[in-house]
Amino acid sequence: MDPQIAQLVDISKTQVAMQARAEMVLERARWASQVFHRYDRAKTMAIADAVAQAAHAKAAEYGEWAVRETGFGVAEHKTIKNQLSSIPLVDYYRDWNFVDPNMDERTGVIEIPKPAGVIFALVPSTNPISTLYFKVLSALMTRNAIVISPHPAAQKCCIDAAKTLAEAAMSAGAPEGVIQVLEEISLPLVDEFMKSDKTDVILATGGAPMVRAAYSSSNPAIGVGPGNAPVFVDATADLKAAAGYIVESKSFDNSVLCTNESVLITVSEVAASLERELTRAGAHICKEGEVDSLRKYLFHERGFNVESLGRDATWIAEQAGFKVNRNTKILVAPISMIGVGEELSREKLCPVLGYYVANSVDQAMKQARALLRLSGAGHSAAIHSNDNQTITDYASAVEAYRVVVNAPCSQGAAGFVTNLAPTFTIGTGFFGRSSVGENVGPQHLVNWTRIAWHKNGPALSADDIGQLKHPGPLPKAPADGVPGQGRPVSVTSTAAGAAAPAARDDLREQIRLIIAEELRDILKD
């Protein structure tokens, strides 16, 4: 036989095959979301609580795994982030009701929540597990189904975490397929998911090209832009506290959070004192030659050197060609300008902090504004000051939607040491070309149907609100030999699309149950 005839043709990478894989996963998610919409608030929150507890229990394991797999960050700090995006996240939103109707007491308008449906969620390599936890729990609290697309660099830990959460959700009564994860990743496949009409909304956390692709997919998207936060320390600040917070923030998880301080700006009258406090807190103030070496190492003709992403300060210094104390937490690089001509005034997802000394408060504010206009518009900024007018002037001047005061910006802008909403998806609003300007949360995964009466009609009270009917999970069909019954279905769907006959049989059976129930309701009427 001719070898060419015997050779099998691999069509798995064709657009048609990619589209078929995406459609199968999304169709299962759509069914799960439709069943999930039937759940009342008590059942919904019970599922969210069960998943949050499972997530919290494995926070340390996944923190270590993420560092081992990606090669960057600090396991202890990733554990903290994982913990904060589990039980505390659900507790923060516990008093929010995304299930039942409510009334606007001022207008008398009644609002009925409508979940988005199917969420396609992109997860970055920098904060993989904490972002996955955050997006899954946000979806569950709002009765949405979610499909996770991990970054290839953190794929294994994300797949395992998604399976863990899916199993916990199903054990608590969630529909099968409410949490799915792609086990094989490719850009063409991700593109098929983003542009499919079965995807209701895209939650894009990642690099700028991926976020832009999400916005150009033709589907609704909530994306985030890059950070490049300025931090201003004025003459009224508690310099010791400010230095401690800045070093703590910039060294947290080796600065992979996009909310970290990028350039420290102060005024000349307190510069020397601030530098002493920074050194005491664990910073190394770089000499001119060291700054040049850092600049050459961290940036090349294609941009930021990703080899330095999330690496510790001593390792970066060694790669750049100079030595620092082994206890050094961050490298502080003095610069004489902020703008296009100074690469160190760009975002640096590593413990390297630009440092600019201004002649006046007015110049400091102008430089902070210039920094965000260079990159990071709409994201975050920080200030250490005890003058309320200066704080207000600064917040008014910078094009940022989060201004953290006298606190570490990494944790503060993300809502973990401030009263901002806790999140791992930072909206950059109009300044950053984003659809959302606040910290993204479950409230962005629900829209509301509003019932409005004539203005001259009788006044209404909360007691006048009709109750939504939540029939709950579908009843189990009797074990009558119907294919697929009594057989567990994998809680994830692979990107290879290999799920197949059993999953399809179960999907058909679940659809049959929905139709049967609807027919019974019709016959009753």
256: tokens are 């992979």
> What is the rounded distance in angstroms from the CA atom of residue 309 to the CA atom of residue 299?
12
Q: What does residue 338 show for φ and ψ, rounded to 5 degrees?
A: -125, 125
Which of 258, 286, 350, 409 does the annotation list as catalytic?
Answer: 258
Residue 154 DSSP one-character state = G
Q: What's the per-residue H, E or C state across 78-136?
A: HHHHHHHCCHHHHHHCCCCCCCCCEECCCCCCEEEEEECCEEEEECCCCCHHHHHHHHH
Short-list 301, 300, 242, 247, CA closest to 271: 242
> What is the rounded distance in angstroms from the CA atom of residue 411 to the CA atom of residue 415?
6
Short-list 243, 253, 321, 247, CA closest to 275: 243
For residue 198, the tally of other CB atoms under 10 A from its CB is: 18
Cα separations (Å) of 378 from 258, 354, 372?
A: 12, 20, 8
DSSP 268-322: HHHHHHHHHHHHHHTEEE--HHHHHHHHHHHEETTEE-GGGTT--HHHHHHHHT-
> What is the rounded distance in angstroms from the CA atom of residue 394 to the CA atom of residue 403?
9
Residue 422 DSSP one-character state = P
Residues in the chain: 525
Annotated active-site residue 258? The verdict is: yes
Strands 446-451 and 110-115: antiparallel
Place of tokens 């006298």: 406
Query: Catalytic amino acids?
Result: 258
